[in-house]
Amino acid sequence: ESVLTQSPGTLSLSPGERATLSCRASESVNSAYLAWYQQKPGQAPRLLIYGTSTRATGIPDRFSGSGFGTEFTLTISRLEPEDFAVYYCQRYGSSPRYTFGQGTKLEIK
Amino acid sequence: QVQLHQWGAGLLKPSETLSLTCAVSGGSFSGYYWNWVRQPPGKGLEWIGDINHTGYTNYNPSLKSRVTISMDTSKNQFSLNLSSVTAADTAVYYCARGQIGDFDSWGQGLLVTVSS
């Protein structure tokens, strides 16, 4: 089973700063099938990035994704107050078809 | 704008069967995969399984023996049954629309608690 490990577990930053979130896979992931989600308390996850680097509809351009193989990154260039949330990476593959990372909590410093 | 609305029993006893339904409105049922994902309180996301418009299903091997996902295309609905529940199945359950690789629309989530 392919495992996704996100780091750090918690990231404390201030509005206006740059956030870099990591997602490492135990097996190589097809870049077309790596996605990122944002989840706020009491809400469903929201798709941010799919295909490693394509922003979903309505997602601001301060969010960007990159990576290849087993190392993927979500970058938020300048944090806005509404960006503080939990972020999950997700990969599509086989057995199981989808797995998620354990999440990175982005909190206000 | 597609919307997913889900419902079902929120409190179950151990050994009972969890049954949830998700209704899809504002979009086509065809051409997508319809997923169930769960999230135990304070924890991360776990994919349960999916079904496509032809009725083909995929399940997480960790739950496969207890899960059935079905659909009613005439009503644009799909359903989740999870048998023999235990406290470990307590979670918020989400339905979600996806194409291969990601889930672009989600239901509002439903907390299902298993307790004697």
Q: Quick: pLDDT tens for B37-73.
A: 999 999 999 999 999 989 999 999 999 999 999 999 9
Q: How confident is the model at residue A90 (pLDDT cuts 50, 70, 90)?
A: very high
Angle at B95 between CA B15 and CA B8, to 5 degrees: 45
Report the distance separating Cα A79 and Cα A102, nearest Å: 22
Cβ contact A100–B50 (<8 Å): no
User: What is residue B32's DSSP assignment?
Assistant: S
Determine phi and psi for A31, rounding to 5 degrees. -55, -25
Would you say A3 and A26 are in contact if contact means Cβ atoms under 8 Å apart? yes
| Residue indicated by tokens 């599509």 | A92
Report the distance separating Cα B20 and Cα B5, nearest Å: 11
Cβ contact B44–A100 (<8 Å): yes
User: What are A57-66's pLDDT values in tens digits?
Assistant: 999 999 999 9
Please return the burial class of A98, using the count of CB atoms within 10 Å of its CB with bins 0-12, 13-18 and 19+: buried
Chosen from A39, A97, A104 to mutate, greatest number of chain B CBs within 10 A:
A97
Going by C-alpha positions, the residue among B39, B33, B86, B107 that lies closest to residue A100 is: B39
Which two tokens mark B30? 């065809």
Query: 50-89 in B: which are within 8 Å (CB) of A?
Result: 50, 58, 60-62
- Tell me, what amino acid is at B53? H
- Tell me, what amino acid is at B101? G
Report the distance separating Cα A62 and Cα A16, nearest Å: 11
What per-residue confidence (pLDDT) applies to A94?
A: 86
Q: How confident is the model at residue A33 (pLDDT cuts 50, 70, 90)?
A: very high
What per-residue confidence (pLDDT) applies to B96?
A: 98
DSSP H or E stretch at residue A37: strand A34-39
Closest chain B residue to the Cα of A54, Cα to Cα: B102
Report the distance separating Cα A40 and Cα A58, nearest Å: 17
Q: Which residues does chain B have within 8 Å of residue A90's beta carbon, measured at their own beta carbons?
A: 45, 102-103
